[in-house]
Structures are given as C-alpha cells and as structure tokens.
Amino acid sequence: MATILARGTIFLMNYLSRRAAALTCAVLMSVAPAAIADPAPRSEAPNTDSCPNATQPPQAEDTSEALQPGQVAPTPPPVVANEFGSCGVTAAAGFVEPENTASAWMVFDLDSGDVIATKDPHGRYRPASIIKVLLALVALQELDLSRTYVATAEDQNQEGSAVGIREGLTYTNEQLMLGLLLNSGNDAAHAIATQLGGDAATLEKVRAKARELGAVDTYVASYNGLDAPGMMTSARDLAVFYKAAWQNPTFARMVATEKVTFPDKDPGTTFEVWNDNGLFMNDENGIGGKTGYTDDAHHTFVGAKTVGTRRLAAVVLDTTIDKGRAWEQAQKLIDASSVATGSIGNLGQAQTTTVAPTPLPQPSAPSSRSHSGLYFAVAGLLAVCAVVMAYFSGRRKE
C-alpha cells in the first residue's frame, strides 16, 4: 500500500495540473469522512467530569481485546491522585477551549514541562500508534542507526499500517526509524523489535521505559499500538513520554523530516515516504509528532509547534473527525494555549496512589467487525492529496 501511494503521489505531481489534482482530491475528500468516521459521530466532546475512565478505557468495540483461552486479564495500574484537580477541563487564565470531540487532551511545554490546559489528564484510554514513542526511545538508546538490516517475510506481513518494507531488501536502522515515526509502519516496528531481541523482549523493554519515565496510568500491551488486552495510557503519561522524546535531538530531527527515500522491490528503484503528521505538514511552525488510529482507540494524536520562544505540544485521545481532523483539534488547542498566562501544574509533580488496582473485566460481546483496513486505505489517499496540494502550493520549503 505504501509503495502504491508513494508512486501515485509522484504520478500526480509530475503529470497532473494543479487544477486536475485539486479536483481529484476534492472528490476523495468528499467521500472520505463517511468512510473513516467513527461509528458513533459526536457533536461535542464527551463529558468526563465524573471520571468515567479513572480505572480503565471505554468498552471495546471489536474483538481485539478478547482474552485467549488460558490468558489472564492484565491488572491495570493503581489510580493516582489527580494533581490537576478535575477530570473535566482545567486551564490557565486566558485559555478558551476550542471546539473538539476528544475525551482527553493535554497541552504542555516540551522544555519546562509546564501544563497549560488539560481534560481528563489521568483518564485511561487506548493510545493506538502514538505509543510507538516508547519503542522509538528504546531503539534510539540501543541500536546503531547506521547499521543495516535485511527485512524478513514476517516484517513485511505485519498487521496494520505499513511503510512498505519488503522481504530480502536491506534497510538502515535510520530508515526503519523514519518509517516508524513518519508513516507509523508496523513492519518497521517489527524489524526494529527483531533487533532488540524479539517481540517479547521488546515489549518488556518498552514497559520498562514507560516505568523509567514515570508512567502512572500506562499498561503497554503491544509495542506497535495495536489494541490488545489491558492496553491503556493517559494524556498525562503520553505528555511525559513525548517531553522526554523531544529532548532527544535525533527524535526531534526525525519527526521534523518531511520525506525520506526507501528502496523499492526492483533493484535500483526507490519510493518516497512522506510524513503523515498533518500539523507538521500544514502549519509553518509545526515541529512534528505522531498519529494514531484503531477501531477501539479511535483517533489519537500528538503534535507540537513553536510559539514564540516556546515549544508547545498537545496530546489528543479518543477523538473523532466530526469537528476536524485530530491534528486540527491539536493545533487549535495549542493556539488557544499560546495566549494563556501561567500554568496549572508541571509534568514533574509527584504522584500518589489512591485506589488499589483490580483485574480488568473480560469485554462483553464485542462486535467482530473491524474497519481498520478501510481507514488506512482512505487515510492514505487523503495523505497523498495533502502532499500533492502542498507540492503545488509550496506551503512548506524543502
């Protein structure tokens, strides 16, 4: 799919006029919302004042979290005291919440750790692919980016989003990391995990990294973000993870990369992999981030931009596209925070346990229907359109 989209992008840019490309994209965008919108459209953000997700995420909508025979439900992390005081919206003076449909979000300073505004900061939600930041941090710590790796059939055939890795081709770890962060490739994630000791060892390393960074609401059930029993995190924990990540110059460089060249199946040929982060690609002050989506997590997003001398970031969890794409909602939250004064707390504040953990219940009769494949296909087409129109308009410089 990634190869097809990349080639389609090049074809459009080389052979279509701007007008023809715009018309093509307009048709795709007119039908895409219906194809990839969440099953239950929202007119507003869910009310979380009563802390409905203090102990576990919302009910699963498909069978991805169903326990296998003999499998024991993971025990969720204990509930901690909410240092921000509310599961509703809490914000610094001057912040006016923009329209959004997210269950939880947080806007924070990447360098100081100051939190400017948040909603349900410790509520437990599924992260989807934005949890890949933990895998990235482990890989940056352990792998030589210049070292090469020969892809396997198992890498190529991973479930979910893919950057387009092919069995038998050689990649540098730099390319694999860019495929992981720019295009959310589960194939790249598996190739990285193989070098970290395999799936089980990598999952343990990712969990250890979360603990090292100070996670209090997170249980990592898969290193690539696919839904699995017990998967959960919070806006607060993700803010902690991404604050740490952006302190790493290599991570910061990678998520601020517009495109990278990947080897194609035919010897001597290549294709381009573009950054799928809409905030980075459409906001001149964008500095990168990460996208996410699964049937149960819905849309998730992390994005950052420079605001004067500050680097502000937003985490968005469990949102829909009814009031704009996830990146647009994050952009509005950051812009609203840019005029606020002061902060409501800091990511470095100590955490205190208030409720002992209990095992997660088995999901009751979830639907077996999944539309992840459709989402990725349509989202990929929209990404092509975004790239084509950006190319013609010259919104971002190379």
Among residues 64, 103, 129, 222, which one is catalytic?
129
Residue with tokens 């970290």: 196
Identify the weakest region by mean pLDDT among 82-86, 265-269, 325-329, 359-363. 359-363
Same-domain status, 67 and 179: yes
Same-domain status, 30 and 179: no
Q: Are 313 and 239 in contact (CB under 8 A)?
A: yes
Among residues 64, 103, 119, 132, which one is catalytic?
132
Same-domain status, 9 and 126: no
Strands 104-109 and 310-319: antiparallel
Catalytic, 370? Answer no
Q: How many CB atoms lie within 10 A of CB 363?
A: 18
The domain in which residue 380 lies consists of 1-36+371-398
Q: What is the dihedral of CA 319, 325, 328, 334, to 10 degrees?
A: 10
Give the chain's mean pLDDT. Answer: 86
The response to whether 290 counts as a known ligand-binding position is yes
Same-domain status, 314 and 170: yes
The number of domains in the chain is 2
Model confidence pLDDT, tens digit, residues 49-98: 999 999 999 999 999 999 999 999 999 999 999 999 999 999 999 999 99
Same-domain status, 25 and 14: yes
Same-domain status, 18 and 86: no
Please give the DSSP secondary-structure letter assigned to residue 259: E
Same-domain status, 72 and 199: yes
List 302's β-bridge partners, or say none.
Answer: 290, 315
Same-domain status, 143 and 190: yes
Radius of gyration of the chain (CA): 20
Nearest to 73 by CA among 364, 368, 363: 363
Q: Residue 363 has what pLDDT? A: 44
Nearest to 291 by CA among 280, 282, 307: 280
The burial of 137, by beta-carbon neighbours within 10 Å (0-12 exposed, 13-18 middle, 19 or more buried), is given as buried
Residue with tokens 């009031």: 323
Same-domain status, 337 and 356: yes
- pTM of the entire predicted model: 0.82
Write the CATH number for 147.
3.40.710.10
Same-domain status, 213 and 293: yes
Q: Residue 350 has what pLDDT? A: 65
Q: How many CB atoms lie within 10 A of CB 157?
A: 13
Same-domain status, 13 and 86: no
Catalytic, 132? Answer yes
DSSP for 222-245, written as a single string:
-TT----TT-BB-HHHHHHHHHHH
Model confidence pLDDT, tens digit, residues 109-119: 999 999 999 99
Pairwise CA distance, residues 122 & 235, whole Å: 7
Which two tokens mark 366? Answer: 């979830």
Catalytic, 129? Answer yes
| pLDDT for residue 26 is more than 70 | no
Among residues 161, 184, 337, 372, which one is catalytic?
184
| Percent of the chain topping pLDDT 70 | 78
Same-domain status, 395 and 251: no
